C-alpha cells in the first residue's frame, strides 16, 4: 500500500524472500513459515518473556562435509544508531523493542510515499493551504508512510528472513531480536491502522465510493503477493520490480489526487509510465542481495543478467522513462515543464556515471542520496504540469 501504499507501498516497497526451493515448508498461520535450507536453517527457541524467537545456525549436508564454511557475517563494529532507526544497512544492534519495531518499518523508505501524496495533491489542482486541507494531507501521508509502507517493509523482512540469514544475519528477525508473535502483531496493527485511516479520509472527503479505502486495500494486497508465496512477485525481477515501482509512485499519487480531486485516465497512464523509473530504482536495491537471491533461486535482474548488464538496465529504465515523460509534456504544449524536467534528468545521469555505474554495490547509498532528490523533484514537476 508499498506504496498508497506503499501508499501503500508502500507498501509497499521492500525485501521479500522466496520459499526455499530445496527446503521443506510448513504453514502454521499466514505469517509463520518454517524453512530448512541447505546451508542455514531456522530453529526456534522458547523465551518466557517474548515468545518464540528465531535463531540462525549453520547446517551441514553430506555434500558440504569437508568444505570449509564461511565465517558468520556480523555488523560492523560500532554500527550506526541512526542507520538502525532508519532501517538501513550498517545499523547498530539494538535491544530496545520500540527501536527494533521502528527499524522493521524502514523509515528511510517513507519519504517517496509521502512525496507521492504531495504530487497527487498538486496534480488535483484543488489543494489549498487551509488548515483542513493540510490536516487531510498529513493524515494521508501517515497512512501511506508509517502505516502502509511500514506494514509492507515488515512483511518483507518476515518473508525475507531466510535470505537475510545469508546476507545480513544480524537483522532483527534472523538474529532473534524480536519474536514471531511480536512481528505478526506489528503487521496487523500497521495494516488495520492504514485501512482505518483510509476509511476516515473517504468520509472526510465526502466520497460516495470509498476510493481511498480501495486503493489502500489494493496496495496492501499487492504488497503481500509481492512478498509471500505462492505468487511471490519478487521471484520475477521484471514483474516484482515494476510492482514495487508502482507502489512507490503511482499508488500514493492516486491517493493524494483522489483525496482532493478526481483521478483521470491520462493521469493513471502517466503515473504507471513513471513507475518504470520506479522499477529502475528498485533494481538498485537488488545488487546488495545477489548472494542470497542466487542461493534461494530468486531471479532478480542482477542474478538473471549479471551485475554489468543489470546496472545498465537499471539506469536505462530511469532515464528513458523520464525523457519520454519530458517528450510527452513538450508534445502537450507544456515546454517549460518539459525543460524543467530535462534539467533535473541531467544531474541524475552525472551521478549514475560517478557512483552507480562505477560500483553499484559500494556506492548504492551515495548514488541514491545524490540522484534520487532530482528524480522526485521531476515527479513533482510532472504533477504540476498535469494540474494545468
**CATH number of the domain within which 311 lies:** 1.10.600
Confidence of residue 364 (pLDDT cuts 50, 70, 90): confident
Q: Is the pLDDT of residue 179 over 70?
A: yes
Query: What pLDDT is stored for residue 17 in this prediction?
Result: 38
Confidence of residue 265 (pLDDT cuts 50, 70, 90): confident
Q: Is the pLDDT of residue 34 over 50?
A: no
Q: Is the pLDDT of residue 11 over 80?
A: no
Q: Is the pLDDT of residue 27 over 70?
A: no
331 belongs to a structural domain:
yes
Total of domains in the chain: 1
Q: Is the pLDDT of residue 334 over 80?
A: yes
33 belongs to a structural domain:
yes
Quick: pLDDT tens for 281-293.
889 888 888 887 8
Q: Is the pLDDT of residue 185 over 90?
A: yes
Query: What pLDDT is stored for residue 36 in this prediction?
Result: 33
Query: What pLDDT is stored for residue 170 in this prediction?
Result: 83
Q: Is the pLDDT of residue 60 over 70?
A: no
Confidence of residue 348 (pLDDT cuts 50, 70, 90): very high
Query: What pLDDT is stored for residue 293 in this prediction?
Result: 82
Query: What pLDDT is stored for residue 75 in this prediction?
Result: 52
275 belongs to a structural domain:
yes
| Mean of pLDDT values over 352-381 | 92
Query: What is the 3 state secondary structure string of the chain?
Result: CCCCCCCCCECECCCCCCCCCCCCCEEEECCEEECCCCCEEEEEEEECCCEEEEEEEECCCHHHCCCCCCCCCCCCCCCEHHHHHHCCCCECCCCCHHHHHHHHHCHHHHHHHHHHHHHHHHHHCCCCCCHHHHHHHHHHHHHHHHHHHHHHHHHHHHHCHHHHHHHCCCCHHHHCCCEHHHHHHHHHHHHHHHHHHHHHHHHHHCCCCCHHHHHHHHHHHHHHHHHCCCCCHHHEHHHHHHHHHHHHHHHHHHHHHHHHCCCCHHHHHHHHHHHHHHHHHHHHCCHHHHHHHHHCCCECHHHHHCHHHHHHHHHHHHHHHHHHHHHHHHHCCCHHHHHHHHHHHHHHHHHHHHHHCCCCCCCHHHHHHHHHHHHHHHHHHHHHHHCC
Query: What pLDDT is stored for residue 22 in this prediction?
Result: 34
Return the percentage of the chain with pLDDT > 70, whole number: 80
Structural domain harbouring 272: 26-59+81-386
4 belongs to a structural domain:
no
Query: What pLDDT is stored for residue 85 in this prediction?
Result: 80
Q: Is the pLDDT of residue 84 over 60?
A: yes
Least confident stretch, 100-114, 136-150, 208-222: 100-114
305 belongs to a structural domain:
yes
Average model confidence (pLDDT) across the chain:
81
74 belongs to a structural domain:
no
Confidence of residue 339 (pLDDT cuts 50, 70, 90): very high
3 belongs to a structural domain:
no
pTM beyond 0.75: the answer is no
Return the percentage of the chain with pLDDT > 90, whole number: 53
Q: Is the pLDDT of residue 46 over 80?
A: no
76 belongs to a structural domain:
no
Query: What pLDDT is stored for residue 68 in this prediction?
Result: 33
Query: What pLDDT is stored for residue 285 in this prediction?
Result: 82
| Mean of pLDDT values over 224-247 | 88
Q: Which of the given ranges, 2-16, 104-118, 193-207, 366-380, has the highest pLDDT on average? A: 193-207
| Mean of pLDDT values over 9-13 | 38
Confidence of residue 78 (pLDDT cuts 50, 70, 90): low
Least confident stretch, 49-53, 116-120, 121-125, 258-262: 49-53
Q: Is the pLDDT of residue 29 over 80?
A: no
Amino acid at each position: 500500500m508499498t506504496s498508497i501504499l506503499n501508499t501503500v507501498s508502500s507498501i509497499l516497497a521492500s525485501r521479500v524472500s522466496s520459499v526455499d526451493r530445496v527446503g521443506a515448508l510448513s504453514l502454521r498461520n499466514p505469517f509463520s513459515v518454517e524453512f530448512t535450507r541447505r546451508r542455514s536453517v531456522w530453529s526456534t527457541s522458547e523465551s518466557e518473556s517474548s515468545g518464540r524467537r528465531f535463531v540462525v545456525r549453520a547446517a551441514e549436508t553430506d555434500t558440504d562435509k569437508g568444505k570449509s564454511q564461511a565465517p558468520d557475517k556480523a555488523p560492523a563494529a560500532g554500527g550506526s544508531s541512526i542507520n538502525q532507526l532508519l532501517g538501513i544497512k550498517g545499523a547498530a544492534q539494538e535491544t530496545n523493542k520500540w527501536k527494533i519495531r521502528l527499524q522493521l518499518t524502514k523509515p528511510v523508505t517513507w519519504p517517496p510515499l509521502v512525496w507521492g501524496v504531495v504530487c497527487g495533491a498538486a496534480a488535483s489542482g484543488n489543494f489549498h493551504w487551509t488548515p483542513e486541507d493540510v490536516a487531510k494531507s498529513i493524515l494521508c501521508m501517515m497512512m501511506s508512510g508509517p502505516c502502509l509502507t511500514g506494514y509492507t517493509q515488515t512483511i518483507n523482512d518476515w518473508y525475507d528472513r531466510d535470505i537475510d540469514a545469508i546476507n545480513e544475519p544480524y537483522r532483527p528477525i534472523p538474529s532473534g531480536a524480536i519474536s514471531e508473535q511480536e512481528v505478526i502483531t506489528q503487521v496487523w496493527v500497521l495494516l488495520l491502522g492504514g485501512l482505518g485511516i483510509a476509511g476516515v479520509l473517504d468520509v472526510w472527503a465526502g466520497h460516495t465510493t470509498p476510493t481511498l479505502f480501495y486503493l489502500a486495500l489494493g496496495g496492501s494486497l499487492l504488497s503481500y503477493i509481492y512478498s509471500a508465496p505462492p505468487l511471490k512477485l519478487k521471484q520475477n525481477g521484471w514483474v516484482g520490480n515494476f510492482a514495487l515501482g508502482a507502489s512507490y509512485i503511482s499508488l500514493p499519487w492516486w491517493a493524494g489526487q483522489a483525496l482532493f480531486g478526481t483521478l483521470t485516465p491520462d493521469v493513471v497512464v502517466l503515473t504507471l509510465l513513471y513507475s518504470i523509473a520506479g522499477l529502475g530504482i528498485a533494481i538498485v536495491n537488488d545488487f546488495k542481495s545477489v548472494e542470497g537471491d542466487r542461493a534461494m533461486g530468486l531471479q532478480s535482474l542482477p542474478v538473471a543478467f549479471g551485475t554489468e548488464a543489470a546496472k545498465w538496465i537499471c539506469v536505462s529504465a530511469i532515464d528513458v522513462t523520464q525523457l519520454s515523460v519530458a517528450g510527452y509534456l513538450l508534445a502537450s504544449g507544456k515546454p517549460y515543464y518539459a525543460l524543467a524536467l530535462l534539467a533535473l534528468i541531467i544531474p541524475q545521469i552525472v551521478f549514475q556515471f560517478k557512483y552507480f555505474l562505477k560500483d553499484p554495490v559500494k556506492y548504492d547509498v551515495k548514488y541514491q542520496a545524490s540522484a534520487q532528490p532530482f528524480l522526485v523533484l521531476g515527479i513533482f514537476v510532472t504533477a504540476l504540469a498535469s494540474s494545468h
